[in-house]
Amino acid sequence: MIDFDYVKARDVSDAVSRIARDPAAKFIAGGTNLIDLMKENVARPTRLIDITGLPLTEIEETDAGGLLIGALVPNSDLAYDARITKRYPLLSSAILAGASAQLRNMASTGGNLLQRTRCLYFYDTTTPCNKREPGSGCSAIDGFNRMNAVLGWSEACIAVHPSDMCVALAVLEATVHVSGPKGDRAIPFAEFHRLPGDTPDIDTNLAGDEIITAIELPAEGFARNYSYLKIRDRLSYAFALVSVAAGLKLEGGAIKEARLALGGVAHKPWRVPAAEKRLRGQQPSRKVFSETADLILQGARGFAHNNFKIELARRAIVRTLEQAAAGTPQSQSVKAIV
Ligand SMILES: Cc1cc2nc3c(=O)[nH]c(=O)nc-3n(C[C@H](O)[C@H](O)[C@H](O)COP(=O)(O)OP(=O)(O)OC[C@H]3O[C@@H](n4cnc5c(N)ncnc54)[C@H](O)[C@@H]3O)c2cc1C
Ligand code: SF4
């Protein structure tokens, strides 16, 4: 049994000053990840700072024509909000491909970004894990690594980020608004999550004394030509083996703008700007999309149990781009037979 205090933050500045005073404390929002980590003895906060009473539950229009999503908007409210389904259906599809209805009702927008990896060994405190206990080693590299990374990994850690929502937010080039003792700042989505390098215990560039207040979506939502394809072991309630989010803008049949991100393959949603750039000006075709997949997966390397992810990702990229280009987005996720 872990002994911890519980307090409820009055407002954002109260939450920030409380966490700044107590580095061993943790914010709690929906609790769908943190409580599990505490039950497994992976997280041992001395204090829980409940942020569910903070006024971060609205979705507002921005002057730039986008939306500002409060960090405490539940995943299900976000997915079904009429402005999201109409203008950012990619985000709605990605959220609805994740977890279960009950979990999405509890899970918050901010918490989704900060959920921790599902690497088996991270949750198993009897095994070495550099992310859980820096310097102890990585059990996954020579262990059962079916769910682990094929891109961007390091010798210290081959974990993947498990979120579906974040893959869509990467394509939409969202901005993460945060508040801390030194004031407010905005972090571009591509810079929010980190690769593991030598410090896999640090998942993101959010400082320990900062709180996420909102996620901002720019005006462009790729509502006409998008698709989110999630391939997993069961049709619901399973994390992605590989997922792909794509947003295209077509003009006169040619690709004017292309964005693509992969989930389930790296420590952060994986984007390759050079591959997106190469799509611009091209006519959509299987050949062009296959070349794009090759470019994205250049340098991909798997381990004993997850090499299949590379070919799976290659095919998933082609299929997602074809669906996006045709304006026929994936309507449900796909069960892997591998
Ligand atoms: C069985 C199961 C299946 C799941 N399947 C999927 C899936 O398929 N796809 C998917 O994407 N997700 C999945 N999830 C994960 C789920 O989406 C996350 O657990 C959820 O989004 C986390 O949000 P939360 O509000 O509950 O976070 P919490 O558990 O409350 O917090 C998570 C972390 O974020 C921190 N935190 C929370 N809010 C803030 C904030 N505003 N500012 C700073 N720090 C904050 C907390 O301190 C904690 O460290 C699954 C979860 C479970 C339990
Ligand atoms: S892959 Fe990362 S999370 Fe998994 S055991 Fe290795 S260090 Fe830990």
Supply the pLDDT for residue 275.
Answer: 98
With a pLDDT cut of 90, the percent of the chain lying above it is: 96
Domains and CATH numbers, the chain: 5-52 (3.30.43.10), 225-326 (3.30.390.50)
Residues with beta carbon inside 6 Å of ligand 1?
26-34, 36, 51, 71, 75, 98-99, 103, 106-108, 110-112, 114-115, 162-165, 211-212, 237, 239
Give exposure, 305-322, as e/b (b: 16+ Cβ within 10 Å).
ebeebbebbbebbbbbbb
Write the pLDDT tens digit of every residue in 202-248: 999 999 999 999 999 999 999 999 999 999 998 888 999 999 999 99
Write the pLDDT tens digit of every residue in 5-31: 999 999 999 999 999 999 999 999 999
HSE-up of residue 92 (Cα within 13 Å, Cβ side): 19
Which H helix or E strand runs over 217? strand 211-217
Which among 30, 27, 190, 193 has a CA at the least distance from the CA of 98?
Answer: 30
Per-position DSSP letters for 20-83, written without gaps between them:
HH-TTEEEESS-TTHHHHHHTTS---SEEEE-TTSS---EEE-TTSSEEEETTSBHHHHHH-HH
Q: Angle 115-49-160 (CA atoms, 0-180°, nearest 5)?
A: 10
pTM of the model: 0.97
CA dihedral 296, 298, 303, 308 (to 10 degrees): 60
266 lines ligand 2 (CB under 6 A): no
Residue 316 CA, ligand 1 centroid: distance in Å: 26
* Distance in angstroms (rounded) separating the CA atoms of residues 173 and 180: 22
Pocket of ligand 2, candidates 40, 42, 129, 150: which has the most ligand atoms within 8 Å of its Cβ, to mutate?
129
131 lines ligand 2 (CB under 6 A): yes
Max intra-chain CA distance, the chain:
63
Give the phi and the psi of residue 287 in degrees, each rounded to 5. Answer: -65, -50
160 lines ligand 2 (CB under 6 A): no
Using an 8 Å Cβ cutoff, are 25 and 14 in contact? no
